[in-house]
Chain A
Amino acid sequence: MKKKIYILDCGFGNIESVFNAISYLGHKPTVILDLNKIKFASHLILPGVGNFFKAAEKIKLLNIKAKIKDFVSNGGLVLGICLGMQLLFKYGEESGKSEGLDFFNYKCTSFNKVKKFNLPLPHIGFSKVTHPNTKIWKGIENPSDFYFVHSYIIGIDMLKKNNNPNIKFGLTEYFTKFISYIEHDRVFGAQFHPEKSQNNGLKFLNNFINYND
């Protein structure tokens, strides 16, 4: 199948490194500013470093939620990176409560709220991801090091509240354990930056691109 990889540029993240990584892997990604032409895509990447609240405003403005849901139910693959993963959840607490895309029924919250001691924040650097060994992790050691930059997380409490066995998780520890990877159906979320994670990250992205092969 011909792959058409779209990268959504909402102005809230660094898309160029994602673009370079996908290009390095031999594909020609398209950068889009809204989802008006999403039906032509096979893969959608939501990159992002930034503020949940601001991104949520943009999501509302561009009516992204309905369009992405539509895209996924028509067989499209979605990968959210960092803030892009956080946005896959129901709501975020950064700069006040705001609505996400609601693929996963949980919230994104501050590291410090989860564990109240003085963490050096943001969590920056390579940390180990213990992953679920699903198809997207093919050929990647378990655990493996990936690059993180973030102050907000999906707390481990989600595991207790989740009763859908088809949702798969990856975990990372930075003073406290948190959910660093999530997948369900054709929706994938990585709190880490595969595009900044050397060969481990390139393999991960390559597996995402070739997911349907």
Chain B
Amino acid sequence: MINKRIIYSLLYSNGFFHLSRNFRLQKVGDINWIKSNYGFGEACNSIDELIITLVTYNPDKTEYKEYFNNIKVLKKNFFVPLTLGGGIRDFDNAKMCFDNGADKILINTAFYNNNKLLNKIADKFGAQANTLMIDYKEINKRFVSFTECGKTSAEVINIDFIEKINKSDVGDVIFNSIDRDGNAAGLDIEAVKKFTKNLKKPLLIMGGAGKPEHIINCLNFKKVSGVVTANLFNFLGDGLNKIRNEAITNGIPLAKFDTNLINLNV
């Protein structure tokens, strides 16, 4: 049995962690807030992977530096796979993420305009190190991918588009619905089912996870490898632990974590 994954994504920008709704950001708290109010270490005991996304549009060097400073503090106390990224346009950006503890990096815009970068990263770190994030929206009954933090439309998602993904040097592929982002009304399973029929990469779905049953329904779809949620309220307290246990009770194959024996005090 192949285990599925529940992945949490923290959204970071300009010194704060955020909630996002249709790609509009709302400040929640800084790193001290996360550390004191968040039960961060415990919450990480219930997830398969953590993504910390830099959601600043066109981040400059100072912004990257602050982002990595925050990560440095957080990651001393969690031992799950970490994906970093946001605004990665060249090999130096990518390498900085790996140097700061990333196992994988998020690729979005570069997928459309810089395949050489993906090849170069795959060459150095393995293709699994590139996690492709496809932000998409439904426009006139067609699904269209977006770049630049959801600002610029890129390509219609069709068979050729999926084939292009299959041929590229990427591991996981996250389909993130901009329409559902932060609305907690359920994941966009039906649409993703349709357009990922020919996808040969591990498929992750993001956008809209609000209740345990949303995540469970989504994970029940055979092709889905995992669900990504950035809903801070899922992450608060033992929310994710409850979701995880409920999913396991419902027969979803998920890794079982030993949560009690080594206390992760952040």
Contact = CB atoms under 8 A, between A and B. Distances in A.
A151 B201 CA distance: 12
A17 B79 contact: yes
A14 B79 CA distance: 13
A103 interface: no
B262 A199 contact: yes
A70 interface: no
Interface string A127-167: 10000000000010100110101110000000000000000
B79 A195 contact: yes
Contacts of B124: 50-51
Interface residues on A, range: 35 or more
Interface of B: prevailing SS: loop
B103 A145 contact: no
B103 A196 contact: yes
Contact of A50 (B5, B80, B126, B171): B126
Interface of A: prevailing SS: mixed
A139 B261 CA distance: 10
Given A120-B225, A124-B202, A151 B126 contact: yes
Interface stretch (A27-35, A57-65, A73-81, A200-208): A200-208
A17 B226 CA distance: 23
A195 B259 CA distance: 15
Interface in A44-97: 49-51
B200 A199 contact: no
Contacts, number: 114
B160 interface: no
Given A17-B101, A122-B126, A124-B171, A200 B82 contact: no
A126 B200 contact: no
Interface residues on B, range: 35 or more
B75 interface: yes
A20 interface: yes
Contacts of B82: 17
A21 B78 CA distance: 9
B3 A120 contact: no
Given A198-B80, A199-B45, A125 B2 contact: yes
B125 interface: yes
A124 B2 contact: no
Given A51-B123, A141-B258, A200-B258, A149 B128 contact: yes
Nearest to B203: A120
Contacts of A185: none
28 contacts: A14-B98, A14-B101, A17-B101, A17-B103, A20-B75, A23-B76, A24-B79, A49-B125, A49-B128, A50-B124, A120-B200, A120-B225, A124-B128, A124-B202, A124-B225, A125-B3, A125-B4, A125-B5, A126-B48, A145-B255, A149-B103, A149-B126, A151-B127, A196-B79, A198-B79, A199-B261, A200-B257, A202-B262
Given A16-B100, A149-B81, A199-B258, 8 more contacts: A14-B98, A17-B82, A51-B126, A122-B127, A125-B3, A125-B226, A145-B256, A202-B79
Listed from nearest, the 8 A-B pairs whose CB atoms lie closest are A126-B255, A145-B255, A122-B128, A199-B258, A16-B101, A196-B81, A199-B262, A198-B257
Interface of B: 2-5, 45, 48, 75-77, 79-82, 98-104, 123-129, 171-172, 200-202, 225-226, 254-262
